[in-house]
Structures are given as C-alpha cells and as structure tokens.
Structure 1
Amino acid sequence: MQQLPQDQLQNIEEPEMSFLDHLEELRWHVIRAFAAITLCTVVAFVSKDFVFGTLIFGPTTPDFWTFQMLCQLSDILHSEALCIDSIPFNAQSRLMTGQFTMHITASFALGIIVAFPYAFWEIWRFISPGLYIKERKVARGAVFYVSLLFIIGVMFGYYIITPLTVNFLSSYQVHASVLNEFDIVSYVSTITTLVLACGLLFQLPMVVYFLTKAGLLTPDIMKNYRKHGIVAIFLLGAMLTPPDPFSQILIAIPLIGLYQFSIAISNRTYKNISRDLN
C-alpha cells in the first residue's frame, strides 16, 4: 500500500469541512477583523483633536518632523535651500457635510491602518489550516512581514510623500492672482490615498516571495522584464495616487528600489528551492 507524504497525511487526518462550514468560518473571521477596524475607527473618531490637529494637518505646518529634519540637514550642508520655514496652506469646506464626512473618512482610514495587522492575522488564520505542513513552513512569519512592510509603507507615505506633496502643491501657482485654498474633502482624500497606497504597494517583496515559491516567478523573469516592471510600477502608482505627476514620481522612485530588492529576494528564494530539490 502506497504511503502518502506526511504533509498530505496531515490534511487527510483533519476532519473535512463542508462548503457552508467554510463560509461560516470565514464569516466569523471577517466579523472579528471588521470589529477591530470599527473599534479603532470609533477611537479615532472621538480623538478628533489629536487626529486632525496632529496627524491630518501635521504635514501642513513647518514644525512637522520631516521639515525639521530637512532644516537640520540644511544647517549641516550650510545651505538654506532644503529648509522649509513656511507653507502657504489654507483649507476650507465648501460642502455643508464636508467636515463631518471627512471626519468619518479620516477616522475609518486610521482604523484600517491601526487594525491592519490584526485583520490580516484573522484572514491568515482562515487560510493557513488549508495549507500542507511544508507550505505552512514556507509561509511562516507571513503575518509579521506583511504587517512590517505595511507599516513601513504607511510611515514612508506619511513622513516622506505627504509633506513633500503638500509643500509642492500648496506652493505651486500658474499665476500670482490664483490663490490655493484647498477643500478639506480634497485634502483628506489625498492624504489617506497616499498613505494607504504606500502601505499596499510596499507589499511587493512579499508578493514576489510567494510567487517565486509557487514557481510562477524567477529572478531571470524579473530581470528580463525590468523595463516592463518599471512601467507597470508607474501605472500602478498613477492609479493608486492622486492625479498629479509629483506624487506619482515620489511613489514610483522607492517602488523601483523595492523592485530591485524583490529581485534579490526572488534570487535567494529560487536558489533555496533549487538546493532543496538537489
């Protein structure tokens, strides 16, 4: 009698669930993930002064961390070109429900960001039991690395992309007679889109890792299609960011670096697979 591999035997020994049972299990994982997002959203909503006074409108003031670091760098280089001591930013609400709507939008976006590691962990708890033992070993640490990359992307979007974009767009004028007075709906939407887009786009190394493990991607493919990948990065950045070239270029530059880093990850993963096969 042919003996099954241990990883397949493990899955057979576990009681098989029906399709409806799987849907019920998924439903509870989704409910818990959404409950965590809702809880964080409510906390952010009642913390209006901190959320808007410190987080949302922080990148519009010269004492924001990024601008302070640029001023310190300017002092080191003995040049005032990098120091930003004033930002001509003015916001207003042109819609009767504008401020309330943006209060909810900003709170929900912050709720997603804060609860993302837990929400992803809940979804992963539903997926992982269906994997073989070997596949679970391959995916070990997935929640940690996905959450880490998401946090790094969010921090990059908030501390690098957002303040530079705000400074550029608030200072840009086609004519001196045209004043920049931004609607709060446009501003909050731009900030949340930039930050969340960076968090998602920074998942590229994890996507490359799993595709390489699955045999769908190799480092040679990534190298041969490098130019196509860069074009795809710019297109993806254009779709996930506000429609201004400055933001798209700022996001595309680190993504190109992530693409190079992903090639290294794919190369190392591919070598490990080849070594195990031999």
Structure 2
Amino acid sequence: AQLRGGAVRGERSSASPSRRSVAAMPPRAISIKVAREEDLSSHIGNDGFYFDLVDFDRVRAFQIPDNTTMSRLKEEIAVEFSIPSQFQRLWLFCKRQNGTWRPVRPFSTEENNLSMTSLHKLLSRTFLFLNPDGVKLFLEVLNDSSPQNLSNDDGLVFLKLYDPEQTQIRYIGMLFVKASSRPSDILPKLRSLAGFCADEEMELYEEIKFEPSAMCEAIDANITFSESQVPLCCKYLQLRAFLNEKFRLGMGISFATRKARSL
C-alpha cells in the first residue's frame, strides 16, 4: 500500500532515522576562553602564579555554537570588551609538553570565515596539544604601531620583571621582534619598559619548566632569536631577574633576566 509522500508500507524509507537525526542535530556549544593583556597583568606574580602567562580559570569565557565563525566571535568580543573587531588580532593558545600554555600563531584572514569546528579540524593536523574541550585564545589589541602583515620572521615577546627587593614578578608589556634579530638589539627598549638605567647590564634566560621548581637556561644576547633555541637542560633562575617570554610564530619560549649587581 502506498502512503502519502510515495513511501511503500513495510519498506524502509531511503532516509534512515539515523541519518535524519544527524542532519537535524543542533550545533554543539563550545567554550572559547579569551585572554587579554589585562589578564596577564593581573595574574602574573599574584597568588603564586609566576611562570606561565595566564590562569585560564579566571579569563572571560564565551559559550558559542560550534558553527560560529571567527568573524562572528570577534563581534561578540567587540561587545564584551568594547574593542572594535578591526582592532582585534586573535592568537591560538596551545599546551606545550612542559604543561604551559603559549600563543603559537595568529589566525589568518581566511580563517576568520571558518566555523570553530572547521578551524579545530584544520589546526589539529598541525598542533598536537589543542584543548579538546574548547579553544583558548590571546587577544592582541592593534594600534598604529602594530605590524599588519606578520611573517615567519616576526615574533611576539611578553615581558616580566622580577624585583628582588620585593621578591615579586610582574608583567610589564609585550614587543614584536624579528627572529633574525638579536636580543641585544632590544635591550634599550627592555630597560625602558623596566625603568632601568640606560647602561644597566641584563642576562637572558629560557624558561624550561616550573614544576617541581623553576628552571631556566642562559641565552647569548649576541646571537639571533632563531639561533637561541636550547635543549631541555637548564639552570636555576637567578635573582634580580628581568623575565622575557619570546613567541616566534611556531617557535618556543625564551626568558631574559636582569644581571645581578655586585654588592
């Protein structure tokens, strides 16, 4: 017997219930955590938080459908933080093998039109330590001095200052550097940000891990950032430390420390 719609009684419709349920499945909500410089400033050096960048349990989380595009997310961020989308540059955070989270690269213009699901599939092929339960991002606020077209030679540097008299570490800013440049090239800027004298010496270190104790390795300020990659073997962090975290696109982390004055 024929049923309305042309199906024959007793015969299975060509569109199975399982396929229909998949097609009708609503978008899944995912968590997007967005860290800003304000978060770095308020977290680093407080409540025992020193050697990572940010505590993601204390940043703004957006619950959005997984079919939301990056462009749409920027509109949500614009409303929440009063930062127009054209002044936003979002960086992907990934978890490193030592347990720390680091920005690895900004999203491209083309990726802004992809859904979160598509982005996750695309990025999972390259980055092995993506958060399976959501996405963690760093929001860079663009200004007149921000480089517009980043290349593999560009790096974003986050800066921490250690005050031995107060035994305190705090965040003091970020810089863009060229991977082909030398740390010594930015020493004047680092001294200025830290409020140091123009001729004060500084030592450079790479952070290796912070558990069970903080460990770092010295870096030569006279070789390029790209050449300053060091093996996972390090020394303990010295006092009077000016700490700098370097993020070249696709690269690891480095630290810089202020040289101890003789007493």
Q: TM-score, normalised on structure 2?
A: 0.24
Higher strand share: 2
Higher helix share: 1
Larger relative contact order (CA 8 Å, sep ≥ 6): 1
Q: TM-score, normalised on structure 1?
A: 0.24
